[in-house]
Structure 1
Amino acid sequence: METLGYIAGILTTVAFVPQVLQIYKTKSAKDVSLAMFLIFTLGVIMWLVYGIKVNAFPVIAANGVTLVLALVILFFKFKYNNHSLK
Structure 2
Amino acid sequence: MTTIEILGFTSAFLTTCSFIPQAIQVIKTKDTESLSLAMYSIFTLGVAGWLVYGLVKQDNAMIAANMITLVLSSVILGIKLRNDVKIKRARLIEE
Q: Tell me which amino acid in the other structure corresponds to 2:23.
A: V
Partner residue of 1:41 out of 40, 44, 47: 44
Q: Which residue of 2 aligns with 1:81?
A: 84
Give distance in 2, aligned partners of 1:24 and 1:57.
28
% identical aligned pairs: 48
Per-residue deviation at 1:80?
2.6
**Which gives a bigger RCO, structure 1 or 2 (Cα 8 Å, sep 6+)?**
1
**Are 1:10 and 2:13 an aligned pair?**
yes
**Superposition pairs of residues 63-82 of structure 1, within 5 angstroms:** 63-81=66-84
Per-residue deviation at 1:76?
1.2
Give distance in 1, aligned partners of 2:63 and 2:28.
29
Describe the superposition over 1:37-72 as per-residue Cα deviations: whole angstroms up to 9, x where unpaired.
Answer: 111111101110110011100000000100000001
TM-score, with structure 1 as normaliser: 0.89
Per-residue deviation at 1:21?
1.2
**How many corresponding residue pairs?**
84
The structure where helix makes up a greater share of residues is 2
TM-score, with structure 2 as normaliser: 0.81
Query: Does structure 1 retain, via aligned residues, the 8 Å contact 2:44–2:70?
Result: yes
Q: Tell me which amino acid in the other structure corresponds to 2:10.
A: I
Partner residue of 1:56 out of 55, 59, 74: 59
Q: CA RMSD in A?
A: 1.7
Q: Which residue of 1 aligns with 2:91?
A: none
SS at match of 1:30: coil
- Extract unaligned runs of 5+ from structure 2: 89-95
- Extract unaligned runs of 5+ from structure 1: none
